[in-house]
Amino acid sequence: MQGFNKYYPPDYDGEKHGSLNSYRGKHALGDRARKIDQGILIVRFELPFNIWVGHCNAHIGMGVRYNAEKRKIGAYYTTPIFAFRCKCHLCAGWFEIQTDPKNTRYVVTEGARQKDEEWDPAENGGFAVHENDPTKAPPIDPLAALEKTVEAATHTKTVLAPRLEQLQEHADRMRADPYAHSLRVRKQFRAEKKVDAARKRADDAVRAKFALSDDIALEADNDALREEALRELEQERERRRAEPPALGVGVRKSASMSASSGAAGLKAALLRNTYSKLPSKPKPPLSGSSSKPSSLVIRRS
Ligand SMILES: [Zn+2]
């Protein structure tokens, strides 16, 4: 049994045995390596073409697979040549197929015949697809070669050269005056920093005025928010007019606070506090401060 798992028996000694495979007296490739001492490995080999077996004269189709004995029989330059020895499944006769690196194909060497179904272009007036002999290479068509050269020259002139010039110009522009670039960037940064600082000062002022905690986010002032605030104020006024006048202000306030909950309630209460002293057709009190970055509209973060 091959050692597939990581079970180490009690009498296993790493110093003595080295590995589980040697402990069990097995090759890492298992039964496929049973003839490894003769240089033979058993592999699964698929017939690359149709053959007739010499012993039983049966036709065996391309793609039939055998447990073949693979061995190295030589080399073409540095590429090894392998032989695959297969046993016919119909008659138990052996046949052998070798690789042919020179022609990038397989050849039957023993015990069978290959069914010749190959189209040979050279025999039919064409050129060989896999020509190994440089002296037999097809002649170069002079017109085609010329056309290729002219095309390449035109491409260089119309596409490559202008693009290179563009890139060169761009690089020159970027490297021309580093001080000016740095100056521009730092100037922009300083301006943005000033705006940010002013916004923070204004926000802090609003927080201090209404005693808000630091974790409440203030929104930037804009027309939509102002419209919404005015609309809510009008609704609140309508509601107050509809209510009976007997109730006190504090009671009404707490009722409206409990009606709306959470952040919305806080927002409405602040809006009421802000706008309650305004005339009924108010000029928006924040319109003059539109340049100011802060706002009275508050949203809990
Ligand atoms: Zn056979």
CA 278–ligand 1 middle distance (angstroms): 109
Query: What is the per-residue pLDDT across 21-39, written as a single tens digit (0 to 9) for each?
Result: 888 888 888 889 999 999 9
Contact 87, 94 (CB under 8 A): yes
State the DSSP H helix or E strand holding residue 144, giving kind and residue range, or none if neither.
helix 142-155
- Kindly give the distance from the C-alpha atom of residue 57 to the centroid of ligand 1, in angstroms, as a whole number: 6
How far, rounded to the nearest angstrom, does the alpha carbon of residue 245 sit from its chain's CA centroid?
A: 68
Instruction: State in Å: Cα 58 to ligand 1 middle.
Output: 6
The residues near 174 (Cβ < 8 Å, ≥ 6 apart) are 181
Q: Give 84-122 pLDDT, tens digit per residue.
A: 999 999 998 999 999 999 988 999 999 999 998 887 777
- Which has the higher per-residue pLDDT, 78 or 259? 78
Spatial CB neighbours of 32, under 8 Å, sequence gap ≥ 6: 41, 42, 43
Q: Which two tokens stand for residue 178?
A: 């580093």
For residues 219 and 296, what is the distance between their CA atoms, to the nearest angstrom?
Answer: 8
How far does the centroid of ligand 1 lie from the alpha carbon of residue 55, in Å?
6
CA of residue 18 to ligand 1 center, whole Å: 45
pLDDT at 252: 47
Q: For residue 66, what is the enclosing H or E element?
A: strand 65-76
Long-range Cβ pairs for the range 95-99 (8 Å, 24+): 95/51, 95/53, 95/54, 97/45, 97/47, 97/48, 98/73
Which pair of structure tokens corresponds to residue 6?
């990581």
For the ranges 153-157, 168-172, 185-189, 252-256, the lowest mean pLDDT is seen at 252-256
Instruction: Grade residue 268 by pLDDT with cuts at 50, 70 and 90.
Output: low
Q: In angstroms, what is the span from residue 59 Cα to ligand 1's centroid?
A: 8
CB atoms inside a 10 Å sphere around CB 55: 14
The SS3 of residue 143 is helix
* Per-range mean pLDDT, top range of 73-87, 138-152, 168-182, 224-238: 73-87
Q: Ligand 1 centroid to 47 CA: how many Å?
A: 14
Q: Count the residues in the chain.
A: 301
Ligand 1 centre to CA of 229 (Å) is 96
Q: Does the pLDDT of residue 175 top 50, yes or no?
A: yes
Q: What average pLDDT does this structure show over 65-78?
A: 96
